Structure 1
Amino acid sequence: MTLLAHGLGGATDLPIPLTYALIGAAWALTFSFALLLFAWREPRLDPDSPGRPLPAVLRAAVDSRWTRALLGVLSVAATALVAAVALYGSGDPARNPVPGVLYVYLWVGVAVLSLLAGPVWKVLSPARALHRALCALLRRPPQRGFLTYPERLGIRPAVLGLFSLVWLELAAPDPGAVAAVATWLGLYLLITLAGIVVFGTVWAERADPLEVYSALVGRLSPVGRRAGTGELVLRAPLANLAGTPVLPGSVAVAAVLLGSTAFDSFSQFPVWRRQLVDSGQPTLLKTAALLGFVLIVAVLFWGAARATGGVSRAERRLLPGMLAHSLTPIVAGYIVAHYLTFLVEKGQATAILFADPYDRGWNLLGLADRDVAYLLSNHPAVLGTIKVLAVVTGHVLGVAAAHDRSLRVLPKAHRATGQLALMLIMVGFTFTGLYLLFDA
């Protein structure tokens, strides 16, 4: 199994020429923006709207402490299994499922599950489960720590964790090595558990890269919680998105997620691969390029968000953070477009490897007799259409989220002109993203 071959496809996968797809996407985004300017004149997205309650039986099952306890036990057991396979399983990544656990199930699977059901990692996290068990033994509330988390840090610690993960996947000398993946997973668990013990559960909410990632994408889920009561409800995803907390590091998190996905597509270009061979320092070059993509996204968005008149210097400084949530639909769109084949097909291959995790000829649950079903790769036109729709939908939703927030934070005289720079940047992201996805 070549784990990091994401099955991106190419321009031949599209049912129409790539040029038409690019032009159509740009027009769709432009018309959406024009329509919003004329038809959406007052803020409409309310994260505190009551929503529609989920059935009482489902709410009770989801919020039951027994459900949480069971999921915690399963999470810790799965973590122990992965650790055992990493230590005693095959050292060949083609025969060991541990790299797939990180790159397929955690990196992509958690995001897709969060998109459907909300911030699931908060429930599935083994670090949180171990901490809850420890607090139960000590009869100590899990929210409390020994130190107060510095509010000025925001979610910046999670930026470092996310960048370390994308660096391992995209720039490390041997990203599929079982030892490298196991080391990242081990350090992640130790640091997260230690942070929760020291600072309480706020560390998980602000510094755990997987939980911050899950919570960010989960804001686009139709599942939310009613303000005050915490009751599970169905609500318009953009309304949930509007409730994204404005914290230091918000732009950096979005830039890491978006920039790394763009770099992953760019790394498939033959000219880049030749440059790596000729450089003699491929790891250094890939690290610099990855960081460059992240910085480009951050700087472009930061500049566009501030490009408005009628605000004070202090207000202008706050605008990028206030508008950072509008990048979440774009990130989600690229996750679906870029990693969907990877999740569906490499996810099956990873599950099959668990049939014989110690390379001893086992056939647990009969999985070893199964073959990967290439459900998407065998239908390239359908896959290409899904990718374009995911990217365009993400950008249109991003424009809508930015527009609604702009109506709240920009002076009335600058509500239209203050969004133009951001609109142009999003069109540029659309062009660049589709080009990288299909022309690599």
Structure 2
Amino acid sequence: MTVLAHGIGGAGDLPIPLSYALVGAAWALTFSFAILLFAWREPRLDPRSPGIALPRVLTWVVDAPIVRATLSALGLAATVAVLAVAFFGSSDPADNPVPGVAYIFVWVGVMVASLLLGPVWKVLSPPRALHRLVCGLTGRPPERGLLRCPRRWGQWPAALGLFSFVWLELAYADPGSVAAVTTWLVGYLVVTTTGLLLCGSAWSRYCDPLEVYSTLLGRSSAIGRGRDGEFVLRSPLDNLAGTPARIGSVAVAATLLGSTAFDSFSTFPSWRALLADAGGGEFTATVLRTLGLLGFIVIVGAGFHFAARATGGVSRAQRARLPARLAHSLTPIVAGYLVAHYLTFLVEKGQATAILFADPFQRGWNLAGLADRDVAYLLSTHPAVLGTIKVLAVLTGHILGVAAAHDRCLRLLPPSHRLTGQLTLMLLMVGFTFTGLYLLFEA
């Protein structure tokens, strides 16, 4: 199995020419912004809105201690099983499902589930489960640690953790290596568990890269909690408006968006030719890929930082806080590219990874009859449908991002600067849409 074969397709997937899709998406985003300016004049989004109450039994079941304990135990058992396959299974990624578990089930599957259901990694996280177990045995509250988690770090540790993963996937010489993926997984488990034991559950909220990513996307889910803690259905934009402004939140979003853009760009013939002509072997290629990855992340982060600050009517201190306060508007865009970039990867390569679990130790097993199954190419065989889904995912993400930013600007900017203060951010969104679709379909 080629782990990085994301199946993102190309311009041939589109039922219309790529140029039409690019221009149409840019105009759709521009008109959406114009409509918002005239029809949405006062803040409307409220993360505490009552929504539509879901059956109380759902909250009772999800929050039941036995259910939480069972899910934690299953998460720990699955982690032990994956590590056993990693250390004692084949070293060939074509026979070992561990790279697929990391790249497909965790990096994509968990995040898509979070987008639909809320922050599921908080429940499934093996480090959290181990931490709860230790706290239960010692009688120490999970919130309390031996040290206080430095709040001045914000989410920068999570951003660095996310960068380490995308660097492994996109810059390392052999990203499909079982040994390399296992090293990252073990490092993640050790660092996160140690952080939880030292700093309490605050470590996961701020510093765990997977939990921060899952929680970020969970804010765009239609499922939320009411004031009494019961599950409710409400507008994803209302849930998104409750995202706290934290140090490093722009870095987290920029890492996710920039890495996705670089992933598409890295398949361009011109980039591959540059790597081939550079000489110096794999070391030079790795350095160039690292610089390219960093370049895309910095461009996204710096572009958003300066666009968010390009307004008048506020003090210097207020302007400095604007990027963090508006960073939540990037979450729908992250979600849109997650679906557009990885949907085929999840659906089809996910099946291939599951089939490898039929015989994880190469002993001639056929667990659950998986070896008799074939991959069903549900999306690749319908390129026009797939191309349409990609465009709609990207465009929807950008429109929701513009709406979230507009509502927050109505709260933060003085009336005389509400229009001019958003123009630079709007132009950036159009640029993101145009560039993102071009990279996605020309890859």
How high is the TM-score relative to the length of structure 1?
A: 0.99
- CA–CA distance in 1 between the matches of 2:274 and 2:103? 26
- CA–CA distance in 2 between the matches of 1:354 and 1:403? 47
1:245 aligns with 2:248: no
Residue number in structure 2 paired with 1:378: 381
- CA–CA distance in 2 between the matches of 1:255 and 1:100? 24
Of 403, 413, 420, 1:400 maps to: 403
- CA–CA distance in 2 between the matches of 1:295 and 1:260? 10
- CA–CA distance in 2 between the matches of 1:268 and 1:333? 20
Q: List aligned pairs for 1:249-268, cutoff 5 A.
A: 249-268=248-267
Residue number in structure 2 paired with 1:277: 276
Gaps of at least 5 residues in structure 1 are: none
AA aligned opposite 1:21: A
1:347 aligns with 2:346: no
AA aligned opposite 1:246: A
Q: List aligned pairs for 1:156-195, cutoff 5 A.
A: 156-195=156-195
Residue number in structure 2 paired with 1:126: 126
- CA–CA distance in 2 between the matches of 1:224 and 1:155? 23
- CA–CA distance in 1 between the matches of 2:394 and 2:294? 23
1:334 aligns with 2:352: no
Provide Cα deviations, 1:52-81, integer angstroms capped at 9, x if missing partner.
Answer: 222011111011111100000100000000
AA aligned opposite 1:104: I
Residue number in structure 2 paired with 1:117: 117
Q: List aligned pairs for 1:8-407, cutoff 5 A.
A: 8-227=8-227, 229-280=228-279, 281-407=284-410
C-alpha displacement of 1:231: 2.1
AA aligned opposite 1:203: W
- CA–CA distance in 2 between the matches of 1:207 and 1:234? 29
- CA–CA distance in 2 between the matches of 1:58 and 1:184? 36
Of 405, 422, 427, 1:424 maps to: 427
- CA–CA distance in 2 between the matches of 1:404 and 1:341? 33
- CA–CA distance in 2 between the matches of 1:279 and 1:364? 46
- CA–CA distance in 2 between the matches of 1:367 and 1:302? 48
C-alpha displacement of 1:151: 1.2
Provide Cα deviations, 1:284-324, integer angstroms capped at 9, x if missing partner.
Answer: 00000000000000011011001111111111101111100
- CA–CA distance in 2 between the matches of 1:271 and 1:190? 39
2:158/2:252 contact within 8 Å kept: yes
2:58/2:231 contact within 8 Å kept: no
- CA–CA distance in 2 between the matches of 1:420 and 1:375? 41
- CA–CA distance in 1 between the matches of 2:316 and 2:29? 30
C-alpha displacement of 1:17: 0.4
- CA–CA distance in 2 between the matches of 1:234 and 1:147? 38
AA aligned opposite 1:160: L
- CA–CA distance in 1 between the matches of 2:312 and 2:255? 28
- CA–CA distance in 2 between the matches of 1:208 and 1:436? 29
Q: List aligned pairs for 1:425-440, cutoff 5 A.
A: 425-440=428-443
Of 400, 414, 421, 1:411 maps to: 414
Task: Give SS of 1:224's match.
Answer: strand
2:132/2:142 contact within 8 Å kept: yes
Task: Give SS of 1:429's match.
Answer: helix
Provide Cα deviations, 1:376-421, integer angstroms capped at 9, x if missing partner.
Answer: 0000000000000000000000000000000000010000111000
Provide Cα deviations, 1:241-283, integer angstroms capped at 9, x if missing partner.
Answer: 0000100001000000000000000011111111111213110
- Give the alignment's Cα RMSD to 1 decimal: 0.7
Task: Give SS of 2:92's match.
Answer: coil
AA aligned opposite 1:392: L
2:43/2:410 contact within 8 Å kept: yes
Matched residue count: 439
2:56/2:230 contact within 8 Å kept: no
Task: Give SS of 1:12's match.
Answer: helix
- CA–CA distance in 1 between the matches of 2:146 and 2:229? 27
Give aligned-pair identity as a percent.
71
C-alpha displacement of 1:175: 0.4
2:76/2:126 contact within 8 Å kept: yes
Task: Give SS of 1:111's match.
Answer: helix
Task: Give SS of 2:246's match.
Answer: coil
- CA–CA distance in 2 between the matches of 1:231 and 1:286? 47
- CA–CA distance in 2 between the matches of 1:327 and 1:114? 16
- CA–CA distance in 2 between the matches of 1:142 and 1:312? 39
- CA–CA distance in 2 between the matches of 1:161 and 1:225? 28
- CA–CA distance in 1 between the matches of 2:321 and 2:411? 13
AA aligned opposite 1:225: R
- CA–CA distance in 2 between the matches of 1:233 and 1:202? 26
How high is the TM-score relative to the length of structure 2?
A: 0.98
Task: Give SS of 2:321's match.
Answer: helix
2:275/2:288 contact within 8 Å kept: yes
- CA–CA distance in 1 between the matches of 2:178 and 2:344? 22
Gaps of at least 5 residues in structure 2 are: none
- CA–CA distance in 1 between the matches of 2:427 and 2:124? 39
AA aligned opposite 1:328: T
1:3 aligns with 2:6: no
Task: Give SS of 2:3's match.
Answer: coil
2:131/2:196 contact within 8 Å kept: yes
